[in-house]
Amino acid sequence: MTQRGYPPRGGRFGGHGGRGSGGFERSDRQEQLAEITAPYGFVPLGPVVEPPWLQRATEVPFLHDVPFEDGLCGTFDVVVEAETPICVAGRSDERERRPCRIGSTYAIPGSGLRGALRNVVEIASFSRMTLVNDHRYAVRDLQNRELYLGHMADMLTNLRTHKKEPMPLVNAGWLEKPKVGEAEGDDSPAIIRPCHFGKIEYAHLQDEARKRGISGFNPGEKQSSVDKYKKWGDKSLEIQTQITLARMPQPPQIISEFGKIDGQGKSIHGTLVFTGQPNRHDPERKSKGKGAGNAKHHDFVFYGEVTKKIRISKKAFADFEFAHADRGQQHRMQDAPNAEWKYWKDRFERGGRVPVFFLLTKDGEFRAMGLAMMFRLSYAFSIHDVLERSGHSPKAPGLDLAEGLFGTVRKLTTKKTLTLRGRVQIGHAYAQGAPKEEPSRQVVLGAPKASYYPNYVTQSGPNGRAATTRDGKPLYETYMSEGSRLRGWKRYHAQQRPTQQVHPRNVNLANVGTTFRPLAAGTRFTATVNIHNLRPAELGALLWAIDFGGDAGARHTLGLARPLGYGRCRLHVTNWRVRRLIDGEDADQGAAVTAFTSFMEAQLGGQWAASHAIHELIALAQPKDPDSVRYQRLDSEARINEFADAKKPGLGLALKAWAQGAVPRLALSGELEPRGGRSKASQSQVPEVARAAPPRAPPPKWRRGDRLEVELLQLNKKGKWQSEAIHFDAKGTIEGSPPADAEKGKVYSVEVVVGSDPKNLNLKWP
């Protein structure tokens, strides 16, 4: 979840979007999207396999000191051949990024090659997903009522008209540091002193600016809240005016009055509060009507006070800061606050107060806060929360195969940390011959957002799509859903060739572009790998990762601009110098690989090679046509937002190894073809271990008409297909006429008729 990504090619600039509204509408000339394309995909998570011979290492560090009876030691070389231009960057300056040099020789740092191989080992050995940050992302999705709008606004009775109309559910208040005696221990870094608020139209606000002699203040222009405060200057934000109330406090969820500043009704003394303007507001432009995407046309006045005082816990404050940091909004590596929070944080740290909007639960407890009325709402579940549902808890004490090979540092509890030194060391890969640098490229290296749930969260519809309600509306799983699960291990596609980006006219590459000089295709590197006391199955996992089990077409990707087709590499082993500790005889590569694959088959009931995970891993490593794996397009000038458009028909990121519609369970067709002198190993080399059952999510509360992905098991006595849900712990019988090609092991999307008993669902063919 921490990998960087890049914008699309194909004529339009865009990063990895995810703001539901996008700030503009789809062009009427653009056809409805048929699929989501992306330069990356996901390998589904499976059960965690914990080799029994590694488990003592959590108590006794014997892996380095006590040799295994079948332990292997030695060295070998890995040759890395770049099939497209490659730039594993070294130094960086203001002008361009150049290939890494160690001394005077071009090189790939050992850490880069190690990371690439470890990731494949993790996936192929069904290791635990641990190297992932426990972020709690936030969302502002104006197209999804269930996910966002329903939490922020509802139909309430207007005090003046006595009619129900859309009204905010948020409250207003001043965030500040607790005074002496107000904090409970160290768990309250901040408190909110609630107040009331009203919206003030821009026309009224500009009149107020003119009265105060403030020139050039136009709040309707596209700008941040910080820009507005700077243009207002040092004039007082205090205002005496009148408000017509639309909403009174309705405890416990609503404690703030809300209304419109219009010079009528209740007299108030308040403080002007500015929020950002995402799109230009033109007062001369005719309104599109309710809910039609009109630009924001008002700011706010905070006034009065509410006696209730709200303490903010450390965790809640950390969620707020993450949602208002560069990393939280753009998935950048920096944790620096964004412009708005930076403006206020300096004042907050000095004891000043910050205007915030916040939500309370139905019990009156604090839920979330932000710097705008429609603020980015933190999801209910963090990444680690969602990982727990798939049996991938980073706090589990057991060791997996990847950790046993490469080492780990994992915090299990506040007082206990699991640490283990690796038994595989990978040196720098030095370039051979005289590589040539190619001319500079200037590209935009954008950043994918893990908060874009159509791609990053597993959907329960067919082949990556969202499930649908009875009336055909998409029903997405998100980080707000009780049963949500991560899509899996993220992998960038290998591509057939590099592509050239074309940017809209309004993109200033001097500000957002990255210039780099790659080494030419055909450059070869060689790295030395040292191993110590590995069992055959462990060495086999490493060898399998190097060339994907001998697959002739599979490739790794390394370095900068991988989503643009750079850094596609083929790896192979040479200079084999590995021996058995017990007798000093040369170890056999093929025997090691077969020991690994046999061990995995024994763990997964003979379904390892046939699993979705292995097929998807291999599929993602096959070079693709760049046009089929481009990023979605985002271009405000052309009014194109494929990120938002994809949500309307419920699209999701499809698995590349699955056929559209029905997905056969791929049976194991035999042993993997050996390469490079590998021989078959006897079954006696495979340790006797217990098989791990793949964990599945608990069943949700299905509604009639929901779509569910199931595998066909068998026909019952009445000729109806019995089935088992793919993603949930549930079974059911399918009524109606099945497709002509229906057979045992195939996967179909069916409709729920009755879903109260997860062990006996009533389903029907769509």
* pLDDT tens digits, 507-559: 666 677 788 889 999 999 999 999 999 999 999 999 999 999 999 999 999 99
With residues binned 3-state (H G I as helix, E B as strand, rest as coil), the percentages for the chain, rounded to 5, are 20, 30, 50
Contact 357, 171 (CB under 8 A): yes
Residue 580 dihedral angles phi and psi, to the nearest 5°: -80, 135
Per-residue confidence (pLDDT) for residue 174, from 0 to 100:
97
Residue 426 has pLDDT above 80, yes or no: yes
pLDDT of 146 > 50? The answer is yes
Mean pLDDT (whole number) for 584-613: 92
- Mean pLDDT over residues 560-582, rounded? 93
Q: How far apart are CA 198 and CA 302, in angstroms?
A: 7
Q: How confident is the model at residue 19 (pLDDT cuts 50, 70, 90)?
A: very low
**pLDDT higher than 60, residue 105:** yes
Helices (H), 295-426: 314-323, 326-330, 339-349, 383-389, 401-406
Q: Are 730 and 758 in contact (CB under 8 A)?
A: yes
* Residue 623 tokens, joined: 């070079």
Question: According to CATH, where is 2.40.50 located in the chain?
Answer: 707-764
**% of residues, the chain, pLDDT over 90:** 50
Do 582 and 137 form a contact (C-beta atoms < 8 A)?
A: no
DSSP letters of 202-268? HHHHHHHHHHTT--S--TTSSB-HHHHHHHHTTS--EEEEEEEEEE--BTTTB-S-EEEESS-SEEE
pLDDT score of 664 more than 50: no
User: Mean pLDDT, to the nearest integer, of 145-160?
Assistant: 90
Q: What is the pLDDT of residue 173?
A: 97
Please check the confidence at residue 327 and state whether its pLDDT lies above 90. Answer: no
Name, of 160-164, 329-333, 726-730, the range with top average pLDDT. Answer: 160-164
Cα 717-721-725 angle, rounded to 5 deg:
135
Q: Which residue has the higher pLDDT, 93 or 594?
A: 594
Give the tokens for residue 269: 């003394």
Rounding to the nearest 10 degrees, give the CA dihedral for residues 428, 429, 430, 435.
-140
H-only helix segments in 296-426: 314-323, 326-330, 339-349, 383-389, 401-406
Query: How confident is the model over 468-488, as pLDDT tens digits?
Result: 887 788 899 999 998 888 999
Q: What is the pLDDT of residue 334?
A: 52
Residue 277: which of 323, 326, 324, 217 has the closest Cα? 217
Q: What is the pLDDT of residue 727?
A: 65
Q: Do residues 85 and 518 make contact, with C-beta atoms less than 8 angstroms apart?
A: yes
The number of beta carbons lying within 10 Å of the beta carbon of residue 56 is 13
Using DSSP's 3-state secondary structure scheme, residue 616 falls into: helix
Closest-CA residue to 448 (of 278, 320, 333, 566): 333
Q: Yes or no: say if 590 and 598 are a contact pair by the CB < 8 Å rule.
A: no
Mean pLDDT lowest among 209-213, 228-232, 440-444: 440-444
The arithmetic mean of pLDDT across residues 300-307, rounded, is: 95
Mean pLDDT of all residues belonging to the chain: 83
Query: Model confidence over 221-233: pLDDT tens digits?
Result: 999 999 999 999 9
From residue 584, give the alpha-carbon distance in Å to each of 68, 577, 587.
14, 11, 9
What's residue 569's pLDDT? 96
For residues 609, 614, 615, 619, the Cα torsion angle rounded to the nearest 10 degrees is: -140
Checking if the pLDDT of 296 tops 80, the result is yes
Mean predicted confidence (pLDDT) in 565-589: 93
CB atoms near residue 101 (< 10 Å): 12
Domain range 707-764, CATH class: mainly beta
pLDDT exceeds 80 at position 25: no
146 or 593: which carries more pLDDT confidence? Answer: 593
Q: Residue 272 pLDDT more than 70?
A: yes
Omega cis (within 30) before 758: no
Q: What percent of the chain has pLDDT over 70?
A: 84
Tell me the average pLDDT across 342-366.
Answer: 94
Which residues fall within 8 angstroms of residue 291, CB to CB, at 6 or more apart? none
Per-residue pLDDT at 130? 84
At residue 337 the predicted structure's pLDDT band, cuts being 50, 70 and 90, is confident
- Asked which of 126-140, 172-186, 454-468 is least confident by mean pLDDT, the reply is 172-186
> What band does 700 get if pLDDT is binned at 50, 70 and 90?
low
At residue 9, the pLDDT reads: 29
Q: How confident is the model at residue 96 (pLDDT cuts 50, 70, 90)?
A: confident
745: left (phi over 0), alpha (psi -120 to 50) or beta: left
Nearest residue to 522 (alpha-carbon basis) of 441, 602, 452, 431: 431
Banded pLDDT at 306 (limits 50, 70, 90): very high
Task: Please list, residue by residue across 452-471, b when 16 or more beta carbons sit within 10 angstroms of its beta carbon and e when fewer do.
Answer: bbbbbbbbbbbbbbbbbbee
List the single range of 144-158, 326-340, 432-446, 563-577 with lowest mean pLDDT. Answer: 326-340
Q: How confident is the model at residue 34 (pLDDT cuts 50, 70, 90)?
A: confident
- Averaged over 197-219, what is the pLDDT? 94
